[in-house]
Amino acid sequence: MTSYHVWTIGCQMNVADSERMSAALDRLGCSPIEELEAADVIVLNSCVVRQGAEDKVTGRLSSLAGLKRQNPDRIIALMGCMVGPDTRDLKRRFPHVDCFMRPQEFGPLVRLVEAREGVCLDTSEILVPSHPSVTTYIPITHGCDKFCAFCIIPYRRGREVSRPIEEVVKEMEMLAKRGVKEVTLLGQNVDSYGDDLPGAPDLADLLEAANAVPAIKRIRFLTSHPNDMSQKIIDAVARLEKVCEFVNLPVQAGDNTVLANMRRGYTREQYFALAGRIRAAMPKVGLSTDIIVGFPGESAEQFEQTVDLVRRVRFDKVHVAQYSARPGTISHRKMPDDVTPEEKKRRYQVLDDLQAKISYQINKEMVGTTEEILIEGQKDVRWHGRTRTNRLVYIEGGAEHRHGELVDVEITKATTWSVEGTVKSEHNLGAVTQRLQISVVAN
């Protein structure tokens, strides 16, 4: 039987794409294997959002040349954001690669495997992961129309395209039959979902329809854009019982001039107002953000505005990245990368240290509260899951058959990155059957 291995780097969208690519290969009769070097079909799903990720893909790709020489029948495919509309340069640099596929473009590899296996893929059914975990991703939009100055995504994933509500709901139902309890609706900017669809439904309409799928217990969405998060969406998240109170709202910078240079389209004051409206509707909401330090022209004083914003908003989680110029983007073409690597690192560290203190404070405040946790899996002997506000949870003890269960946990202890608690009750099983130690790790 033909074996395959899909190697993935990058964002959740890439993870979702890899799951669907794997599903297509499964349907063609191939089987997944752990060892990349031993696979008959090797797929690298790439990311070029930062130089570090691109370097890893390039290193992997180069190392596959020898494998192809050993066995010319082996199929090597490159997919994802490294593949733009013009692949001539990639073909010249990596002649051992058999096919190049843009994000979500599975056809070229499917055709190669069909020819090799003498089979034909039934394309009448939606591609869903063959063996999904309890919590899984569903892409609801592809591409992005925003063209932020630093971002390569619109050039690689194209303009924004939304999937119809009925298709997303059907996929949820199919996943529910495979044991999925929680879905994360994915897009580069989910808040502009539906603008391109007939009747222009929005994310609130989609959440409403998703909330009605019986076997799905929780719904998340990722990522939001401050300019498109309407009051209707906020109210839907607050009102719909399965939609978790968690919003990833990238701010990117706290200084108005830097925000304008980034072409983000909002000011810090507008961001504060939006965070305030979200918290007014959902006082316990988990808020996370993305920040880039060292954007071209960002002075030390302007960076202090970002520090001030982080202190004032008090996020649950901050993803900090050091600016990395991406060829083809507006900032690469027009703005010199003038903040030194040392200064970028210093700014990164300042935010990291500040967020560690804030996370500890938030975790301490959780002690004595009760959190609903969906148990997702087991690592070594410990089970793990997440709160509705997206904190990762580890459970001490080896109790069995807990995948996909919702449990209420009383938090008893906090450290910087985790809290611990005991199970008070189990939603699915009713009465308390035993007491467990829980670690909640800020993700």
Residues making contact with ligand SF4 (CB under 6 A):
144, 146-148, 151, 153-154, 188-189, 225
Whether 201 and 141 have beta carbons less than 8 Å apart is answered as no
Nearer to ligand SF4 among residue 148 and residue 216 (C-beta): 148
Q: What is the 3-state secondary structure (H, E, C) of 163-178?
A: CCHHHHHHHHHHHHHC
Give the chain's radius of gyration (CA, Å): 23
In whole angstroms, the minimum distance from the beta carbon of 151 to ligand SF4 comes to 3
Task: Please state, as a whole number, how many other Cβ atoms lie within 10 Å of the Cβ of residue 380.
Answer: 6
How far is Cα 18 from Cα 271, in angstroms, rounded to an integer? 34
In whole angstroms, the minimum distance from the beta carbon of 223 to ligand SF4 comes to 7
Amino acid, res. 39: A
Cα angle value 321/327/332 (rounded, 5°): 70
Nearer to ligand SF4 among residue 32 and residue 265 (C-beta): 265
Whether 212 and 173 have beta carbons less than 8 Å apart is answered as no
How far is Cα 388 from Cα 218, in angstroms, rounded to an integer? 8
Nearer to ligand SF4 among residue 264 and residue 391 (C-beta): 264
In whole angstroms, the minimum distance from the beta carbon of 191 to ligand SF4 comes to 10
The alpha carbon of residue 442 and the mean position of all alpha carbons in its chain are separated, in whole angstroms, by 16
Nearer to ligand SF4 among residue 160 and residue 182 (C-beta): 160
In whole angstroms, the minimum distance from the beta carbon of 265 to ligand SF4 comes to 9
DSSP letter string, 366-411: HTT-EEEEEEEEEETTEEEEEETT--EEEEES---S-TT-EEEEEE
Whether 175 and 138 have beta carbons less than 8 Å apart is answered as yes
Nearer to ligand SF4 among residue 188 and residue 390 (C-beta): 188
In whole angstroms, the minimum distance from the beta carbon of 301 to ligand SF4 comes to 24
Nearer to ligand SF4 among residue 148 and residue 204 (C-beta): 148
Nearer to ligand SF4 among residue 22 and residue 192 (C-beta): 192
Nearer to ligand SF4 among residue 335 and residue 374 (C-beta): 335
Nearer to ligand SF4 among residue 266 and residue 417 (C-beta): 266
Whether 374 and 218 have beta carbons less than 8 Å apart is answered as yes
In whole angstroms, the minimum distance from the beta carbon of 189 to ligand SF4 comes to 5
Nearer to ligand SF4 among residue 11 and residue 423 (C-beta): 11
Query: How long is the chain?
Result: 443
Whether 437 and 397 have beta carbons less than 8 Å apart is answered as yes
The alpha carbon of residue 87 and the mean position of all alpha carbons in its chain are separated, in whole angstroms, by 26
Q: Are strands 182-186 and 135-139 parallel, antiparallel or unpaired?
A: parallel
- Residue 320 host element (H or E): strand 317-322
CA 209 to each of CA 129, 175, 250, 439: distance values in angstroms, whole numbers, following the listed order:
21, 15, 26, 33
In whole angstroms, the minimum distance from the beta carbon of 214 to ligand SF4 comes to 33
In whole angstroms, the minimum distance from the beta carbon of 153 to ligand SF4 comes to 4
Cα angle value 368/370/371 (rounded, 5°): 135
In whole angstroms, the minimum distance from the beta carbon of 85 to ligand SF4 comes to 17
In whole angstroms, the minimum distance from the beta carbon of 61 to ligand SF4 comes to 24
